[in-house]
Amino acid sequence: MRGRSPDQTRQRLLAAASELFAAQGYHGTTVREIAQRAGVNLAAGNYHFGSKRELYLEVLRAYFQSLQAELRERGASPAPAELARLRPRQVREALHARIEVMLDRLVGPAPGPHALLMQREMADPSEAMPVIVREFIRPMMNDLEALVARLAPRIGRRAVVYSALSIVGQAMFYRFAKPAVLRVLRQGGYTRELTGVLGEHITQFSLGGVAALASRPKGRRHAS
């Protein structure tokens, strides 16, 4: 450990924490185990992060920062002013790109440890869940809701929120139900071709649902 910089120690702790939280969950992992995996002493973990909760949140911050960067690079997260200028076809393309990124991150074909980490968090929430929703999930949902609202500006706020949740739910289904889905589809695993097909299907299915909501009589539309 001699000669290791504080930044190197921090990065080793984050890498070890990512692996252990993904494999064992938040509740099943201790800071001592993380320090041992990272090859540093326990005091170093406490010095850099203060608590297991803060280390967990830092792992998620790094993940969501990389996710946001990928969404921007693939045109799936236009800024509000840019979104307002997009034509309907371009908004649909942005939605499709966003769904593709979700599937890439959730099912792969080679998803990283963060996909399993988030699956564990959803199934067995940690004490950090309120912060996770406020700091990470809510901003992501805001961006998705903005795309839906741009596609169907008259369907009402509640319908926009439910539509965005339904889109996320479709993508997450293929992660949570992976063993059964692959058997139903007679596939040995998620391939690039298969996730591409699924991304196209979720996009078209979601666009059809949003269009159906927009075509309802005005009174029923706003009741959603």
- Return the CA Rg of the chain: 20
Phi and psi for 179 in degrees, rounded to 5? -60, -45
When the pLDDT of each residue in the chain is averaged and rounded to a whole number, the result is 91
Entry pTM? 0.87
Segment among 63-67, 165-169, 214-218 with least mean pLDDT: 214-218
Q: What band does 223 get if pLDDT is binned at 50, 70 and 90?
A: very low
* Neighbouring residues of 12: CB distance < 8 A, sequence distance ≥ 6: 4, 38, 39, 40
pLDDT over 50 at 1, yes or no? no
Residue-wise pLDDT tens digits, 81-115: 999 999 999 999 999 999 999 999 999 887 778 88
Buried/exposed code over 64-88 (b: 16+ C-beta within 10 A; e: otherwise): beebbeebeeeebbbeeeebeebee
Q: Are 117 and 108 in contact (CB under 8 A)?
A: no
The predicted model gives 35-57 an average pLDDT of: 87
